[in-house]
């Protein structure tokens, strides 16, 4: 049996002693599948896309205000109840273990890393290079040190890189206090993890639910849809989210990606399943990870919204640097 280099703990209902899993998840893809994927034609992306002008983020927000600023791809800054929380920070040019190879940014980060407000916590959903970027974490530790909260095994990756990181690792369903009135709970997603070819599912992946006095904020990292049960469980457990931050990109070809990433119609189903008041799209338009065109995710989401009874302004798609001041949830 392969040895897990990141986590050594007892077996559970989602850990077999070596690898993590989610009951009902799809089997791992084969090397033949990967070879077929590499031969799949891909839409041409522009080398660079200019971001519209944006304002610097506020130092903090107070009271019942909730502001979420898109940085690009899966990186977002959540400001709520006096806290500044950064999710999956990636400021590097490439989402890759290599500086000269791998997916390259088509759009610059919407906020310069030096313009971030003082951070209280960094949340990291999983260890793929477009979500866990050690080079970015190095910069943040020097200029903006704070606690890092992630799922089991990812702490080892970060600590091996630099033991000075204040990183904490938790299991699904663990709840962590961020302040006297804000907590974060780790929740399952249908995904997987790997940094190399031989460590698949040896670190846990997660979504996050922030519980605040003004309603939950549900940030989904990467996920597939399957039967939607894990999304329908969110309002039953935490109440209706004030905001759900939902991935919409990196989904083609479907024969391969359907087990790891949702496509926009499924993103809308997640929005409906969670009963969220508002949603914000992420995971699109920055790194070309898959075959679809750069603007295909927002176009397909717009089409799905048009075919539904949901008001389009309830599911926001915004460019890097743009901020969403989320209305206070009613009812």
Which residue would you say has higher pLDDT here, 331 or 212?
212
Q: Which structure tokens are listed for 99?
A: 């500086």
pLDDT at 330 over 80: no
- Give all strands of the β-sheet with 278-282 in edge-to-edge order: 175-177, 183-187, 207-211, 217-219, 243-247, 278-282, 315-316
pLDDT value of position 33: 92
Taking the alpha carbons of 55, 285, 222, 204 in that order, is the dihedral positive or negative? Answer: negative
Domain boundaries, the chain: 56-313
Half-sphere exposure of 179 (CA within 13 A, CB side): 16
* Beta bridge mates, 83: 80
pLDDT at 138 over 80: yes
Q: How many CB atoms lie within 10 A of CB 163?
A: 8
Q: CB-based contacts of 145: which residues, under 8 Å, 6+ apart?
A: 166
Mean pLDDT of the chain: 96
pLDDT value of position 25: 86
pLDDT value of position 24: 85
pLDDT at 31 over 90: no
**CATH code 3.40.50.620 for 56-313:** no
Q: Which structure tokens are listed for 33?
A: 């599948």
Residue 2: pLDDT band (50, 70, 90) is: confident
Mean pLDDT, residues 98-123: 96
Residue 1: pLDDT band (50, 70, 90) is: low
């Amino acid at each position: 049996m392969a040895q897990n280099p990141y986590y050594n703990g007892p077996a559970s209902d989602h850990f077999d002693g070596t690898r993590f899993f989610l009951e009902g998840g799809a089997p791992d893809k084969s090397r033949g599948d990967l070879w077929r994927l590499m031969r799949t034609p891909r839409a041409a992306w522009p080398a660079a896309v200019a971001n519209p002008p944006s304002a610097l983020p506020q130092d903090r927000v107070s009271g019942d205000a909730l502001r979420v600023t898109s940085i690009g791809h899966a990186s977002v800054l959540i400001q709520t109840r006096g806290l500044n929380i950064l999710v999956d920070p990636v400021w590097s040019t490439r989402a890759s273990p290599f500086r000269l190879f791998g997916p390259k940014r088509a759009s610059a980060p919407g906020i310069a890393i030096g313009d971030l407000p003082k951070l209280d916590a960094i949340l990291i959903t999983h260890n793929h290079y477009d979500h866990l970027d050690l080079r970015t974490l190095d910069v943040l530790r020097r200029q903006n040190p704070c606690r890092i909260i992630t799922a089991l095994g990812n702490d080892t990756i970060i600590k091996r890189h630099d033991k000075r990181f204040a990183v904490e690792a938790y299991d699904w369903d663990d709840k962590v206090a961020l302040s006297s009135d804000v907590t974060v709970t780790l929740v399952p997603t249908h995904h997987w993890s790997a940094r190399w070819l031989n460590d698949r599912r040896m670190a846990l992946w997660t979504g996050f639910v922030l519980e605040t006095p003004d309603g939950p904020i549900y940030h989904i990292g990467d996920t597939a849809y399957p039967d939607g049960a894990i999304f329908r469980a969110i309002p039953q457990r935490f109440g209706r989210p004030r905001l759900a931050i939902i991935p919409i990109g990196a989904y083609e070809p479907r024969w391969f990606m359907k087990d790891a990433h949702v496509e926009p119609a499924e993103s809308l189903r997640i929005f409906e399943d969670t009963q969220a008041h508002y949603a914000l799209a992420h995971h699109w338009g920055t790194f070309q990870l898959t075959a679809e065109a750069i603007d295909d995710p927002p176009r397909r989401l717009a089409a799905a919204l048009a075919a539904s009874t949901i008001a389009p302004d309830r599911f926001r798609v915004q460019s890097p640097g743009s901020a969403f001041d989320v209305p206070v949830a009613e009812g």
